[in-house]
Amino acid sequence: MTEDAIDDGHVAAATPPGEAAGRAGERPRVLARVRHARILDELRAAGAVSVADIAAGLAVSDMTIRRDLMELERDGHLVRIHGGAVLPDGSGVAMDSVEPTFAARLRQRFEAKERIAAAVARIVAAHRTIALDVGTTTFLVGQHLRDAAHAKIFTNSLRVATLAGMAAEVYVPGGRVRGDEMSVGGPAAIAQFEALWFDVAVIGVSGVTAAGLYDYSFEDTELKRVFLRRSGLKLVACDASKFQRMSLVQVAGLAAVDIVVTDAQPPPEVAMALAAAAVEVRVAPELGA
């Protein structure tokens, strides 16, 4: 049987000439090779494709497009994500193997991080219990929350915990301190924060790709996962240089968070993956705007 006779997993029955054409509203058949070409064209143009958009454009079922994506992934043409597909990681994802010092990271894109921190602080300031992760942008978030006297901040960052003039109540877990980062981690810290429930969590990451969120440190990653599991609203504070970068540890998939606050729109493949995971992207306004 030829490919022309098959679509949506069904065999096309023989139909007398003219009869098929006369059936009002019957959906036209679209060959697999035509669908595959359309998918790859869209992927090359945009960096990502949506199952729903392709299915609607070709007037076929979502299941048909999902099968097409499985075949194309098997042949190495794409990588499937929730709700669609992106180009393979080799098409632009960079790997970071060495964690720069805290001071060096704080200097990098400082103005963008300040914008993000101010925007994040505006979102979380109305909440009572705030989980605040380690990292340079989250440290700046802590500075913006100094006057939040109503808040209880739970953090594994000793830098945040020792900020001068902090009006909020600050809680840190017990555990092992990781030198330059001044972060607290280990089984005791995990157990203490795992027993709590937070209104909102703000986490920092070293990279974001269509596959998820990344960080350099095993120890810090475990606390990030606790914050994500034990919080109602989950935010990622991430400057745009982190998009299409990955590092040693995958923290979670994109669907684990609710909002990404950044300073510029993510590239198409990351934007597509975030949208498919129902993650809201908020671009921080200019300071003073």
Phi first, then psi, for residue 210 (nearest 5°) are -60, -25
Note whether 11 and 108 are same-domain residues.
Answer: no
Domain assignment present for residue 289? The answer is: no
86's enclosing H/E stretch is strand 84-86
Tens of each residue's pLDDT in the chain, 289 residues: 444 434 444 433 444 444 343 343 434 567 889 999 999 888 776 667 788 889 998 999 999 999 999 999 888 888 787 777 877 655 567 778 788 899 999 998 999 999 999 999 999 999 999 999 999 999 999 999 999 999 999 999 999 999 999 999 999 999 999 989 999 999 999 999 999 999 999 999 999 999 899 999 888 999 999 999 999 999 999 999 899 898 889 999 999 999 999 999 998 889 989 999 999 999 999 887 6
Note whether 161 and 203 are same-domain residues.
Answer: yes
- pLDDT score at 266: 92
Note whether 38 and 123 are same-domain residues.
Answer: no
- Token pair, residue 228, equals 């994500």
Would the pTM count as exceeding 0.75?
no
Note whether 66 and 147 are same-domain residues.
Answer: no
In angstroms, what CA-CA distances link 107 with 15, 104, 208, 288? 70, 5, 20, 21
Note whether 230 and 138 are same-domain residues.
Answer: yes
Note whether 110 and 75 are same-domain residues.
Answer: no
Last residue in a domain, options 46, 73, 91: 91
Note whether 178 and 251 are same-domain residues.
Answer: yes
Note whether 246 and 149 are same-domain residues.
Answer: yes
Last residue in a domain, options 60, 91, 122: 91
Radius of gyration of the chain (CA): 24
Note whether 57 and 132 are same-domain residues.
Answer: no
Note whether 41 and 138 are same-domain residues.
Answer: no
SS3 139: helix
- Token pair, residue 60, equals 């076929």
Q: Could you tell me which of 264, 275, 273 has the C-alpha nearest to residue 210?
A: 273
Note whether 85 and 105 are same-domain residues.
Answer: no
- Domains of the chain: total: 2
Domain assignment present for residue 288? The answer is: no
Which residue range is the domain that position 67 belongs to?
3-91
CATH code (residue 113) = 3.40.50.1360
CATH code (residue 68) = 1.10.10.10
Q: Could you tell me which of 15, 13, 29 has the C-alpha nearest to residue 64?
A: 29
Note whether 14 and 145 are same-domain residues.
Answer: no
Last residue in a domain, options 62, 91, 120: 91
